Structure 1
Amino acid sequence: MHIARYALDECVHYGIIENDGSIARLQSSPLEGLKRGGAIDAPSAVRLLAPIERPRVFGLGYNYVAHSNEVGKAVPQLPVLFMKPSTSVIGPDESIVYPDDGQNIHFEGELTVVIGKKARHVSAANALNHVLGYTCGNDVSDRVLQRRESEFGCLLAGKGYDTFAPMGPVVATGLDPSKLGIITRVNGAVRQNGTTADLLFSVPEIIAYLSRYMTLLPGDMIMTGTPAGVGPIQVGDTIEVEIEGIGILRNDVVAEDRGNASRL
């Protein structure tokens, strides 16, 4: 099942995408249930949004051995965690803003877990019962700032710019997160071609680990790490993250306009 969050006639709705592409509108957020409301919306009439509104976003670093090797990092002995602000989240076809002082901004295609049920002290064996589904994510990162922060044992600003967490296009339910193909393209050229079978810490292990220390809430999103092949993006580029069973998350890259930002 594919669940979409979308805008239509200046209102935001959730719906289930049917086999013919039409969208069966839900009565409420899928975090509250999947009861249909009766309305059917045409895909041509809607604009897809980020699957969850202003979520808490957890990220994992170095969760693929090949990626650790390509950046010269030791393989971690426990999950390397960080968070991205809710204001970093954008949806499909929204623009990644390249900071005007940015020097080396990278893409990172990632499987992203959407928590559907409160989780605290859950076991790995029971962890997937707390998952609503999965979506595509792009952990956009400022490498220069990230490196400076990491020297002091922290990681926030380099991952946390507005627009640095594209998510979407839908939440897919019923997938096996242990064997999904991930492809990232820049301007149509394949840059990453990996599989979640290579995750160092599996999705159930990640959820169990996080829930040992904090309560996971419905709507939380967990970016599970990126395969090898990360690289720079430039203004004018189009980034696509495609994950088996979910779809394609597409975003272009635009230059920052501080004049407009100052008026918000």
Structure 2
Amino acid sequence: MALWVRYERDGEAGFGSLEGDSVRPHAGDLFDAPTPAGPSLPLASLRLLPPVRPGKIVGLWNNFRALAAKLGAAEPEVPLYFLKAPGSLLAPEATIPWPTGYTGKVVYEGELGIVLGRRCKAVSEAEAEAAILGYTGVNDVTALDLLNADPSFPQWARAKGCDGFGPCGPAIATGLDWRTLTIRTLLNGRERQNYPASDMILPPARIVSLLSREMTLEPGDLIACGTSLGVLPMRAGMVVEVVIEGIGTLRNTMGAAETG
């Protein structure tokens, strides 16, 4: 198992393996045999960036049995998905911007994220499994009142694609068994979500395989596996943490509402 992070130091971006309280810089391509390069750097001296720069951010809805049961929704046989704008990506510890002029509810959704390591087009589940580089934490932030603001057209992309509405990190964990993971979300230190990844309806390899029938997935693409029970609104100044043992804590603060 390894933990990979991206960071900024002295105005320059780099990536490396997280080893305790330090980062071992690497050179080359994270997706193609990166090699160690230079001495380890203290983690405290670095500003963590999102651990991946996805060309696509795909999010799933209704992919956990407990939530489907509560909603009275049928368990899907294919991914029910939406796309988040690349500009929604946000680094650990960064402030989530409040959309200008928006006065409705903003909710967190703590999720497990799949990071692709290979190009996938119409692949089998076995090929999809081999194409997954690793897993990371995702907060699928949503402007809830925008979703159904127009009764004729559910606005998934708008509600979930606002700038900064896709915090991700703090690391990509490779060699991790997703079935053993638990996703916890804390709001101002109080646990609001605690659910097992094993409750997933469509497991990661099946998600990747099915999505690859419709769109080509590229190295670095990010797929958020969906959330479960416990989603609640955030207020300005609240600290939200998505905690997944083996990956780390993705911590962000909700920004203040703006007018304009």
Compute the TM-score of the two structures, normalised by the length of structure 1.
Answer: 0.92
The answer on whether the counterparts of 1:145 and 1:157 sit within 8 Å (CA) in structure 2 is yes
1:248 equivalent in structure 2: 249
Counterpart Cα distance in 1 of 2:231 and 2:148: 15
Counterpart Cα distance in 2 of 1:222 and 1:2: 18
Counterpart Cα distance in 2 of 1:153 and 1:205: 26
Q: How many residues align?
A: 258
Give identity over the alignment, percent.
Answer: 36
Alignment of 1:4-153 (within 5 A): 4-18=5-19, 20-53=20-53, 55-71=55-71, 73-99=73-99, 100-148=101-149, 151-152=152-153
Q: Which residue identity does 1:88 align to in structure 2?
A: S
The answer on whether the counterparts of 2:122 and 2:213 sit within 8 Å (CA) in structure 1 is yes
Q: Which residue identity does 2:18 align to in structure 1?
A: I
The answer on whether the counterparts of 1:67 and 1:227 sit within 8 Å (CA) in structure 2 is yes
The answer on whether the counterparts of 1:138 and 1:165 sit within 8 Å (CA) in structure 2 is yes
Counterpart Cα distance in 2 of 1:151 and 1:71: 21
The answer on whether the counterparts of 1:120 and 1:212 sit within 8 Å (CA) in structure 2 is yes
Q: Which residue identity does 2:130 align to in structure 1?
A: N
Counterpart Cα distance in 2 of 1:220 and 1:150: 31
Counterpart Cα distance in 1 of 2:150 and 2:251: 29
1:71 positional shift: 4.4
Name the SS for the 1:53 alignment partner. Answer: coil
Render the CA deviation track for 1:144-173: whole Å, top value 9, x for unaligned.
111236852552100110010000101110
The answer on whether the counterparts of 1:236 and 1:253 sit within 8 Å (CA) in structure 2 is yes
The answer on whether the counterparts of 2:136 and 2:170 sit within 8 Å (CA) in structure 1 is yes
Render the CA deviation track for 1:42-75: whole Å, top value 9, x for unaligned.
1121010111135410000011122234445443
Q: Which residue identity does 2:219 align to in structure 1?
A: P
Counterpart Cα distance in 1 of 2:32 and 2:64: 33
Deviates more, 1:193-202 or 1:153-162: 153-162
1:262 equivalent in structure 2: none
Counterpart Cα distance in 2 of 1:43 and 1:116: 25
Name the SS for the 2:4 alignment partner. Answer: strand
The answer on whether the counterparts of 1:120 and 1:215 sit within 8 Å (CA) in structure 2 is yes
1:131 positional shift: 1.2
Deviates more, 1:55-64 or 1:85-94: 55-64
Name the SS for the 2:201 alignment partner. Answer: coil
The 3 A distance-change label for structure 1 pair 150 and 10 is farther
The 3 A distance-change label for structure 1 pair 16 and 258 is farther
1:101 positional shift: 1.2
Deviates more, 1:164-173 or 1:146-155: 146-155
Counterpart Cα distance in 2 of 1:235 and 1:221: 27
Q: Which residue identity does 2:84 align to in structure 1?
A: K
Counterpart Cα distance in 1 of 2:247 and 2:232: 23
The answer on whether the counterparts of 1:67 and 1:229 sit within 8 Å (CA) in structure 2 is no
Q: Which residue identity does 1:123 align to in structure 2?
A: S
Name the SS for the 1:255 alignment partner. Answer: coil
The answer on whether the counterparts of 2:17 and 2:25 sit within 8 Å (CA) in structure 1 is yes
The 3 A distance-change label for structure 1 pair 102 and 116 is farther
Render the CA deviation track for 1:64-110: whole Å, top value 9, x for unaligned.
12223444544334210100011000010001112241311110000
Name the SS for the 1:126 alignment partner. Answer: helix
Structure 1 gap segments, 5+ residues each: 260-264
Structure 2 gap segments, 5+ residues each: none
Q: Which residue identity does 1:50 align to in structure 2?
A: P
